[in-house]
Amino acid sequence: MAKFGLRSKSLLALVLACLLALVPATLVGWNIVDGVREHFGRAYVNNFTQLNRQKILAPLSRELALSRRMAQSEVTLQWLRDPGNATAAELFFREAEGYRRDFVDHAYFIARQSDGNYYFNDDSKPVSFEPRYTLNAANPTDGWFYGSLRSPDPYNINVSTDRALKITRVWINVVVRDGTTPLALAGASLNLNRFLDEFVRSGEAGVTPMIVNDNGAIQAHRDATLIAYNSGATDTGETQRVFGLMSDDASRGALQRAMQTARSDPNTVPSEWVTLAGKRQLLSVAYIPELKWYVLTAVDLNAARIIDTGWLWSAGLALILVIMALLLAFGYAVERLVLRPLRRLQQSARAIADGRYDVKLPPGGMDEIGDLSRAFGVMADKVRSHTAELESRVQARTTELAAANREMAVAHKKIGDSIDYASLIQRAILPDRQMTHSLGAHHFVLWQPRDVVGGDFYVFRADGDNCLLGVVDCAGHGVPGALMTMLARAAVDLAISEAGVRDPAAVLVRVDQAMRAMLEDAQLPRTLATAMDAGLVYVDRSGGKIVFSGAKLSLFASNGVDVEEFTGGRRALGDKRLGDYTNQEVALRPDWTFYLATDGFLDQAGGEHGFGFGTSRFASMIKAHARLPLEQQGAAFVQVLAEYQGDLPQRDDITMLSFRFE
């Protein structure tokens, strides 16, 4: 039988101890990695769903707004009431061409109920005043049209194939009504291939994005055979509904709960575990109330690359190297601390047995050496134990700090990307293209948010040769201010649609009412400001006048010699006390330039003492530059403000709108 020495026994004991420790440590570590993967997977699917929601909402909401405006146009109604009137028809098609140029795909359609005539114009052919084909109530393929007219909804959005035109698109169908009587369907469409490439095929491996409506009918999916065509007006089969893709009732119930939660609070993005396509996947749901669509993202955490697991191999290799180093260190320690003193004792004992008494014995003799060896063994064990524990704690804390730093970096990047995307969305809603198209060189706009996004925006609505324009300053700046601009923009659009563009005071009153209605049920802190300043001007070029009304904002005018200020109401919109807003008529005189500016320009600190720019300095500035061309005035004002501001930071969002008509 082989005889093991003290060194071999010590090394064998250490190896067995390491193996016993590695087994539970590996199991615990795997569970931790799995939990981290689920945590980051849930964050990933929620952010991915929110991003897809914004990608869908931005283009479709714009197309929907343009489609509804075209459908509600008085020119459209006049033609539909009298289809045989050639003058009304010519006027409609001329106005529709303007809308067609503004639509993303430069295409629109209108189908009359009275005769079923279907009109469609796009860039593929010259504009035609004749119908492309005629719809028939007895034809099942035309059921989408008559189903949409019977529906009480003002519009629907679905994916369908127009077999007569041989095109498949995302269609926006707006019901044109004369009072309560439906007259026609009108709207626009988006190219389905580009829509799928942008929104659906953006997911990575293991990530399945899709879009469904209130009934679960699939509107967009990587597998085109699953899309429920004409689902906005007709019933769809179970295979074209998202619930049909679920493998069990529990998954379908989880999806229904998530959809109900998202619909009750569109700002939330609930997520549930479901079995989809035979795999357990994490499903996240976001709701778009404007389109009545749900944005779904399913992620298979086993297939998706949520976190990089390559570091596990490096960690395993490092652990093996550490164990080998520990074995070598332990063997060397046994040799030096135990075996070498024992050999000395053995040599001394043999020398004494041989009669050499002058041999120097180890200090303390046999008993003392044994006690000392045991004491050293206990001490060495404690030192090794404490060192291992300390190293373990340091390594665990280092790992935690590294993970926290990675999380912070990822979170910082996501926040930055979200804010950049929010800035893109905010810039997209500004009416720059409409103003350039309608006003051209008769205006300039200076828009400088303090942060990436801001609380200022400007308004423009064309009214033939006339127009309504203005600036709005919401309370706050940055992300809170930008969110307030979304509410304020919706309130302004609503007010204009109800009060019209020719009565700025009525628009302000209606905006004030709408903002109060939107915020009255919200339990907001008393310190949170929700008021906003506004100034609106209706330019009546044919009447040679402008009509101004403001809420804590003034209208300035100058001909280079004199400066006039027309003050608005003393109270802001949404203030604790109701304001009184009235219209002021001002002559549209030649060589006079008009200016609207938010308080960010007037309150900007600068100069020698750090005071605000002020109204007097502002009046002197516009008088000095009033005769310059408008595009030169904008650059001049930016330079004047920068020189006054110096090294001081921008205090607030800055917006300035100027116009002049000869």
Q: pLDDT digit string (tens) for 125-163?
A: 888 888 999 999 888 888 888 988 998 889 888 777 777
**Is 90 exceeded by the pLDDT of residue 595?**
yes
DSSP 27-74: HHHHHHHHHHHHHHHHHHHHHHHHHHHHHHHHHHHHHHHHHHHHHT-H
Q: Measuring CA to CA, how many Å separate 213 from each of 257, 266, 304?
A: 15, 14, 26
Numbered ranges of CATH 3.60.40.10 in the chain? 430-659
Q: Measuring CA to CA, how many Å separate 316 from each of 17, 25, 30, 342, 401?
A: 17, 12, 12, 38, 20
**Is 60 exceeded by the pLDDT of residue 350?**
yes
What pLDDT was estimated at residue 378?
44
pLDDT bracket for residue 306 (50, 70, 90): low
What pLDDT was estimated at residue 374?
47
* Cα angle, residue 42 at apex, residues 40 and 48 outer, rounded to 5°: 95
Lowest mean pLDDT among 258-267, 387-396, 484-493, 580-589: 387-396
**Is 50 exceeded by the pLDDT of residue 471?**
yes
HSE at residue 331, side-chain half, CA atoms within 13 A, is 10
592 vs 63 pLDDT, higher one: 592
How confident is the model over 210-235, as a mean pLDDT? 75
Q: Which CATH superfamily is domain 430-659 in?
A: PPM-type phosphatase domain (3.60.40.10)
* Cα angle, residue 491 at apex, residues 490 and 497 outer, rounded to 5°: 90
pLDDT bracket for residue 256 (50, 70, 90): confident
Average pLDDT, the chain: 82
Helix runs in 103-207, H state only: 143-150, 192-195
Neighbours of 509 (CB within 10 A): 22
Task: Supply 256's token pair.
Answer: 């229904």
405's enclosing H/E stretch is helix 365-429
DSSP 221-263: -SSGGG--TTTTTS---GGGBGGGGBSSHHHHHHHHHHHHHHH
The radius of gyration of the chain's CA atoms, rounded to the nearest angstrom, is 37
Beta strands in 291-442 (DSSP E): 293-299
Numbered ranges of CATH 3.30.450.20 in the chain? 65-193
Question: Model-level pTM greater than 0.75?
Answer: no
Percentage of the chain lying above the pLDDT 90 cut: 34
pLDDT tens readout for residues 365-385: 555 556 545 444 444 356 456
**Is 70 exceeded by the pLDDT of residue 522?**
no
Distance separating alpha carbons of residues 230 and 143, to the nearest angstrom: 9
- What residue has token string 């120097």? 360
Percentage of the chain lying above the pLDDT 70 cut: 79
Distance separating alpha carbons of residues 525 and 274, to the nearest angstrom: 39
Q: Provide the β-strand partners of residue 443.
A: 659
Task: For residue 533, give the 3-state DSSP assignment.
Answer: strand
Task: For residue 207, give the 3-state DSSP assignment.
Answer: strand
**Is 60 exceeded by the pLDDT of residue 234?**
no
- Which has the closest alpha carbon to 443: 591, 593, 654, 655? 593
What pLDDT was estimated at residue 653?
92
Task: Supply 190's token pair.
Answer: 């988006």
Neighbours of 348 (CB within 10 A): 18
- What residue has token string 């077999």? 163
How confident is the model over 229-252, as a mean pLDDT? 72
How confident is the model over 175-194, as a mean pLDDT? 87
pLDDT tens readout for residues 17-32: 667 766 776 666 656 6
What pLDDT was estimated at residue 232?
54
What pLDDT was estimated at residue 368?
52
**Is 80 exceeded by the pLDDT of residue 553?**
yes
Task: Supply 37's token pair.
Answer: 């993967």
How confident is the model over 215-238, as a mean pLDDT? 71
**Cα dihedral sign, 618-620-624-626:** positive
**Cα dihedral sign, 81-86-92-97:** positive
CATH 1.10.10.60 holds for 65-193: no
SS3 content of the chain, % helix, strand, coil (to 5): 50, 20, 30
